[in-house]
Structure formats: structure tokens, C-alpha cells
Amino acid sequence: MLKELMNAIKNKGYAIATRPSELNIVGVRNAAAKPNRFDDAIHVFYKRDDGEWIINSFPATTDPGIYWLKKPMNENGTAILCPGQYKDSHRIGVHRGKYQALVQQNPLLVYRDNNRDEVIDYAVGKKHSGIFGINIHRAAVKGVTRYVDIHSAGCQVFADVEDFNIFMSLAQRHKKLYGNNFTYTLLEGL
């Protein structure tokens, strides 16, 4: 999977972080995604001090849950992150005043799904750029969450709290070495 990810990133002309413990955070949206499922992945890879590449792959969603598709927070519709690489888009902060996660700090591009049904409509209408609170966080407080539901209104969300804890420990190490800026890349179906 690592070679496939790196090739996809390079083919898009995106950057790959190569310093030891500097994170590459890559969401991969499932081309055959089903609404309300954790059927995407967040991959985190980095180079160790000895030069060996390490990858962790986690079940996640890069799509909003049905709850928010039917009841958008924004009058223009529910946010769906556009594929791309977003340099220094996130930092470690507090998600919704509750716990540490990666929170959006710079503008991202989103589509807006505004027809209030249970179908995720990608690439609908014009793209919107801004700070929308598209964070990278966990679903439930304990265990593995089966359905997205209220856990994502456009965020990138880990299904398993233990996977998220591993991710955050890697992010803390990155922050200590390189500062509190994280680049997020979203790719579609590999």
C-alpha cells in the first residue's frame, strides 16, 4: 500500500514529507462508498531515523454521515472535502471543546451537498473555500463505531478510538520535532 500511495501522490505533483517522524497524512476515499459507513481509510506514513518507511492504515470516513446530509449545519449544504493536498491545513487543537484532535487552521475546498437526502453527492456545484471546521478526529469515546451518523458533518473521522490514539501519539511526536502544522492529502479510490 505504501508504494501505491507514494506513486499516487507523486503522480498528482503533491509533496511527500521525508524527514524522520514527519507525518504524511493521506485520506483515501472509497470509489464505491456507501453512505454512513467507515469504508474509507486514513493512512499515516513517515520515515524512521534509520531511513525505513513506516505506514499505519486505519478505517475511517472522509464523508459526512446521513444525519448531517439530511440536516446540514450550513444553509448551502453539508460539506464534502474535495480531493487535494492541503499544506499546513491542520494543527493539534481541541475538537468541539472536548478532546485533542487535528483541527482545521487554513482554508480547504469543499463541495456542498444540499438536497437533504441519504446520497452523498460529490462534485456538485461550485467549490467553496474557507475554514469550515473540517477536523480529523475519532467517532465514539470507546471502541469501534460501525455507522458514521452524527460523527461527521464533513470531517475526516477514525472508526476506532484506539487507532485514533495511535494517530495522535504520532502527531505529538511530529509536533515536538517540526511544529504544530500538518498537511492533509485526500485521494479518491486507489
pLDDT at residue number 137: 97
Q: Which domain holds residue 102?
A: 2-188
Digit-coded pLDDT (tens) for 99-115? 999 999 999 999 988 88
pLDDT of residue 49: 95
User: Which pLDDT score, from 0 to 100, does residue 75 have?
Assistant: 86
Count structural domains, the chain: 1
Q: What is the pLDDT of residue 119?
A: 79
What pTM, to 2 d.p., does this model score? Answer: 0.94
State which residues of the chain have pLDDT below 50: none
Residue 32: its pLDDT value, please? 78
Listed as own residue / partner, the contacts of 3-7 with beta carbons closer than 8 Å and 24 or more positions apart are 4/190, 5/43, 5/45, 5/55, 5/187, 5/190
Instruction: Kindly state the DSSP code that residue 82 receives in the 8-state scheme.
Output: P
Q: What is the pLDDT of residue 101?
A: 98
pLDDT of 56: 98
pLDDT value for 17: 98
Q: So what's the pLDDT on residue 116?
A: 84
